[in-house]
Amino acid sequence: MPARPIPAGFAPFAWHHLRGAVPGDWEVSRYSVEDRDGRLEFANRDGLRATASWEPCEREPDRATTMATFLERNLLGRAAARERGLRRDDLRTEEIGPFLVGRLDDALPVQALAYDRAGERLVRWIFEGAADVRGRREIVAPVLSSCDFNDDPDVCEYDLFGIHAVLPRDYRVEDMVVLPANVLVSFEQEKGRSRATFRRWGLASFLRGEDSLLDFYARVVRTNRIEILSSEPRTVGGHEGLLARFSAPREHHGDRYMARRWKNGIAWVWHDREANRIAAFEQIGPDGREELPLSTVPGL
């Protein structure tokens, strides 16, 4: 996928149908696993800073009217909007890339709407406390300028919570665990039932202690009933790493009932000492599945 411009001091993100970058002190405070109609909320120490959302939309709407309707229903209230005589032309608007940006005054949030024709989706940003000149210049403009639609027909990029992957489009988010120093995102192929799982552990030197990388990984994944069958040391992206073969339980109901296991799992594990993180990329599935390359994780 083509590289995206990332403003200085900003951190990239990619999730389902949207890619971009946000200020480095923003963190994802809420997220949706569902890709059809979803959202990301970003916050910092001052509270909620912005919400990005997307929804199916067969035809491009009048975006200024849509923004005025949002103000009436969600911010002003119908009585206040009626008393104010709110109209679409009251919004001060400008174009930034594919987004129409609209604001009523400096006290209310800034809205930005873009229509993704290829995916038939409406993408919306709501920026809190950024309606003044400085907020529009330092927050709204660089965030929107960094955004594009994550709509490659063949692959989808995911970059959130320290997990970065580019997967075939038919893989869908199946499970997520997001803890301060422990993140897991698991994907499952829609038809083939193959699984790809990405793990990231922070505070790696503390968690690993004196253990070898293999001992640490085997100990952690044992809680998921994963059994390491063999392993060999490898250098992964310039880091100490290993390639492990493993078996794991099949996830679907009948398979779980019969305690069936897949035995063709592959796991790449590496310890980034500079970032003090350990990461793993696992894949497993039916015999004859197409193996995903290590380049599924950008930078490796």
Spatial distance between the Cα atoms of 270 and 264, rounded to a whole number of angstroms: 20
pLDDT for 253 equals 47
Tell me which architecture the domain covering 10-149 has in CATH.
Answer: 3-Layer(aba) Sandwich (3.40)
Q: What pLDDT is stored for residue 83 in this prediction?
A: 65
pLDDT in 10s for each residue of the chain, 300 residues: 666 678 899 999 999 999 999 999 999 999 999 888 999 999 999 999 999 999 999 999 999 999 888 887 776 676 665 766 677 778 899 999 999 999 988 889 999 999 999 999 999 999 999 999 999 999 999 999 999 999 899 999 999 999 999 999 999 999 999 999 999 999 999 988 899 999 999 999 999 999 999 999 999 999 999 999 999 999 999 999 999 999 999 865 444 444 588 999 999 999 999 999 999 999 999 988 899 999 999 999
- Residue 132: the pLDDT is 94
Nearest to 269 by CA among 224, 223, 208: 208
Domains of the chain, residue spans? 10-149, 168-296
Q: What is the pLDDT of residue 231?
A: 98
Residue 261 near residue 249 (C-beta atoms within 8 A): yes
pLDDT at 85: 64
pLDDT value for 254: 45
Contacts of 174 (CB under 8 A, 6+ apart): 186, 187, 188, 195
CA distance linking residue 77 with residue 80, whole number of Å: 6
- Residue 206 class from Cβ within 10 Å (0-12 exposed, 13-18 middle, 19+ buried)? exposed
Judged on CB neighbours under 10 Å (0-12, 13-18, 19+), 259 is exposed
Amino acid at 72: E
Structure confidence at residue 181 (pLDDT):
92
- Architecture of domain 168-296 in CATH? 3-Layer(aba) Sandwich (3.40)
Distance CA 81, CA 70 (A): 11
Say how far apart CA 108 and CA 130 lie, in whole Å: 9
CA 183 – CA 189 distance, rounded (Å)? 20
Q: What is the pLDDT of residues 202-248, one digit of tens each?
A: 999 999 999 999 999 999 999 999 999 999 999 999 999 999 999 99
Rg (CA), the chain: 22
Q: What is the pTM of this model?
A: 0.92
Distances in Å between the Cα of 248 and the Cα atoms of 167, 194, 225, 239 are 21, 12, 6, 26
The answer to whether 10-149 and 168-296 have equal CATH topology is yes
